[in-house]
Structures are given as C-alpha cells and as structure tokens.
C-alpha cells in the first residue's frame, strides 16, 4: 500500500522543523493580535465555484469533488479564504466590526505533482475584513516580512501590483483582448486558449517569443481608476516608510477571480518553477458574492511546504524529541519497581524527558539503546538497586563515571543535572 499520489507523510524526523515553522508563524500573527479561526476541510462545492471563479483552473480541473450519501456535492477545500468568509458570515462576525483572523491547515488540489507542488499541501492564511484603507494592506505585508525575518529567510522578494476596481479591471480586460486579438497570429497556443479563459494571465507568459508582444500591450496600471491609484500610492508610501523593499510588477495578476486593487507575491528563485511562497491581495467583493453584506477584505496565504524548503535546518529543534534520561532495568523485580519509579518522576517533574526501556533484552542491549536514543544519562535499576532502594546514574556523553543515588535524593539529583 502506498499513500495517495501527491499526498506526503510527515515523519518524526521532519516534525520538529514543522513545529518550529508553525510556532514562529503563529507567534508573529498573534503579536499583531490576529485571532485563530478553524473551519471544516470540506465545504459545499458551490462555495468554491462561486468565490474562486468559474473560469479558473482550480474550479474547472483541480478540485476534489464528490457526492455524499445525500447526493450533495462537496469539495475538499482548495484554499482557505472561501471557507473563512463563509464561517464569519454564518456566525455574524463579519458584520460586527473589523475582524483580523488567521487559519492553518491542509488544502487539496488535483494537480500533477512536482517540486514545491503536492496534492495535499498546507497553508497559513491571514485575513482582515471590514477595513477599506490601505494601512491594513501594509500591515499584512509587514506581517509576512516579520515572519521571513523570524525564520531566517532572506532571499525572497516582494512583487506588488494593483488590479484596480472590478469595473476598471473589466475595462482593461476588454482593452487587452482587443490588442491581443489584433495580433492573434503572434500568440502561442497557450495564449490563444487564455484569451478566452483568463486574458490577463497572458501578460505573465514564460514564452520568450511572446515578450515583445507583451511589452507593447496596454499597461494595467495606466487604466486603473483614480481611487485605486490613490489606494496604491498610500500603500506604497507606508511600505517605503517601513523600509520594505518591493518591485512593482504590472503583469502580476492573481489566478483567483475575487481579487481587486492590491495584489502581491513573495517570490524566491530557490524553488525551481514554483517560486511563490506567499501570495495575497484585496477582495472587496467576495463577502457579498458569498452572501454577506458588502464588506471589504484583504489577506494572504503562505505555502508551508515551500517555506520549509527555504529554512535552514535548525540545530535546536533536532533535540526536542531526544530523551534526556533513559531508564534501563535488569530483572523482573526491577521492571516492576522501575515502572513505579518512572511514573513518580513524571509526577514530580513534568518537564522531564525520560525514555523508559520497554521490550526487555539483555542488559547490554538495553544500554546500547540508551546510547542510541541520544540520552545524556542512563538510569540503571537492577535487583541490587531495588533491594537498596537506590538508582545508578551513568553519564553517557561525558567521561565522569557512574554513581549511585538513593531514591529519596533522586528528584533533587535529576533536577540538578537538568539545570546543567
């Protein structure tokens, strides 16, 4: 039996790196007073097709959709924003003042796996609702920058663009279609297809033969409405004031239909073809589309697997699963007495990391396992020690010899060793 394609296991050796990543991201978000929200992994299919957009690849080809026993169409969430918005509307939170929330968890897209792309992957997202002004756009970007800094990631850069209002975007879309249709003979086959589905994405084409055609196209930034231009300008001022480096990328369009005004991506060149580790933007029409009262929104999502690839393996976290003490026991009497002892130690020292040897075996093999475990000390309990009510403490990582401690003094002695 094998795991389903594109779905990866996280093994004990990988878990500490994941924990460091998750704890770091969460502590930054919480320091900005974003509050955690959790919502189901499965939603009605309609929620995603309405919010993400009927013309997008995600909705058309990539969703894990099935019918439950009542015949209702359900989908494993391909992204988090839709479910987050639904939950906030359903519980009346979105209309009771501004909300800043974050969430975390697995997302599912049926794509061909490759580097930085799996079918089950994990995101942390943050969203802010009810705030129209660009100070919140700036804050979300600053949150990201602080997370990279906390994780020691420095080779990412920020790309920024504004799509303008929804109607300005439609207007530009028509301009672009007109321009591209006039040069239809110069379009490659992908772009001909995209002319119907998502013409703005043609601007992002990787085909070098398309570049002169693209550079001659009308610019999105030139055609956005005045209010959006002002919004963008204030945002840039805030980023400049905070010394956040960014690059304006007028071809940056997001794949999901719900974005307007600000869009941004954090990009690295260290991950092959999937260089985006975090992306987001504004979606002022989404809440209304999903059935709530019109409420502006802005947010981002980061791909944890991709970020993990950029993190240097941390020394400290590799030790977090390593026992500090390993208790070995020789003889049936010692096993019984040792079990009681270990439980008493756990009662009195909640932070103690003690591995109790299980599974028997010779004394020699038990000590070998104590060494392999990485523990600093072996606690040794044989019939003699049981009779004398003592324990032998054997340092495994330094040259000093083993010594005997009475059980009365054991907690004190272990506390002393842990403090070293």
Where along the sequence are the contacts to RNA (CB under 7 A)? 2-3, 5-6, 56-58, 62, 79, 109, 111-118, 121, 123, 190, 194, 198, 201, 204-207, 254-256, 265, 272-279, 301-303, 305-306, 330, 361-365, 367-372, 380, 382-385, 392, 394-397, 402
Q: Cβ closer to RNA: 219 or 274?
A: 274
d(CA 224, CA 208): 27
Residue 417 · residue 377 · CB < 8 Å: yes
Q: Cβ closer to RNA: 171 or 201?
A: 201
Q: Cβ closer to RNA: 72 or 247?
A: 247
Smallest gap from residue 37 Cβ to RNA (A): 18
Q: Cβ closer to RNA: 79 or 285?
A: 79
d(CA 262, CA 297): 11
Smallest gap from residue 268 Cβ to RNA (A): 10
Smallest gap from residue 380 Cβ to RNA (A): 5
Q: Cβ closer to RNA: 224 or 278?
A: 278
Smallest gap from residue 305 Cβ to RNA (A): 5
Q: Cβ closer to RNA: 224 or 279?
A: 279
Smallest gap from residue 2 Cβ to RNA (A): 6
Smallest gap from residue 70 Cβ to RNA (A): 27
Q: Cβ closer to RNA: 242 or 402?
A: 402
Smallest gap from residue 195 Cβ to RNA (A): 11
Q: Cβ closer to RNA: 100 or 369?
A: 369
Smallest gap from residue 237 Cβ to RNA (A): 25
Residue 127 · residue 280 · CB < 8 Å: no
């Amino acid at each position: 039996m094998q795991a389903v394609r594109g779905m990866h296991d996280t093994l004990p050796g990988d878990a500490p790196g994941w924990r460091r990543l998750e704890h770091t991201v969460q502590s930054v978000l919480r320091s900005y007073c974003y509050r955690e929200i959790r919502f189901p992994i499965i939603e009605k299919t309609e929620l995603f097709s309405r919010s993400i957009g009927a013309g997008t690849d995600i909705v058309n080809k990539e969703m894990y959709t099935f019918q439950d026993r009542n015949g209702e169409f359900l989908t494993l969430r391909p992204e988090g924003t839709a479910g987050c918005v639904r939950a906030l509307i359903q519980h009346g939170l979105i209309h009771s003042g501004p909300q800043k929330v974050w969430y975390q968890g697995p997302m599912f897209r049926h794509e061909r796996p490759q580097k930085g792309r799996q079918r089950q992957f994990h995101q942390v997202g943050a969203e802010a609702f009810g705030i129209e002004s660009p100070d919140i756009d700036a804050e979300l970007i600053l949150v990201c920058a602080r997370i990279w800094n906390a994780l020691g990631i420095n080779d990412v850069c920020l790309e920024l663009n504004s799509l303008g209002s929804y109607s300005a975007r439609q207007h530009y879309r028509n301009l672009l279609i007109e321009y591209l249709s006039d040069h239809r003979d110069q379009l490659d086959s992908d772009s001909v297809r995209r002319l119907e589905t998502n013409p703005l994405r043609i601007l992002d084409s990787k085909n070098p033969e398309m570049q002169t055609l693209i550079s001659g196209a009308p610019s999105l930034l030139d055609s956005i409405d005045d209010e959006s231009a002002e919004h963008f300008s204030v945002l840039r001022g805030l980023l400049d004031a905070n010394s956040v480096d960014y690059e304006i990328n007028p071809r940056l369009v997001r794949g999901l239909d719900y974005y307007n005004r600000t869009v941004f991506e954090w990009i690295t060149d260290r991950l092959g073809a999937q260089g985006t580790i975090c992306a987001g933007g504004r979606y002022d029409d989404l809440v209304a589309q999903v059935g709530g009262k019109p409420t502006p929104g802005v947010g981002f999502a980061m791909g944890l697997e991709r970020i993990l690839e950029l993190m240097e393996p941390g020394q400290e976290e590799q030790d977090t699963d390593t026992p500090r003490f390993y208790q070995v026991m020789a003889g049936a009497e010692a096993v019984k007495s040792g079990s009681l002892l270990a439980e008493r130690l756990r009662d009195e020292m909640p932070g103690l990391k003690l591995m109790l040897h299980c599974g028997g075996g010779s004394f020699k093999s038990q000590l070998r396992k104590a060494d392999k475990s990485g523990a600093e000390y072996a606690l040794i309990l044989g019939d003699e020690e049981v009779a004398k009510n003592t324990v032998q403490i054997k340092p495994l990582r330094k040259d000093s010899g083993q010594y005997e401690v009475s059980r009365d003094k054991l907690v004190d002695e272990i506390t002393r060793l842990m403090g070293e």
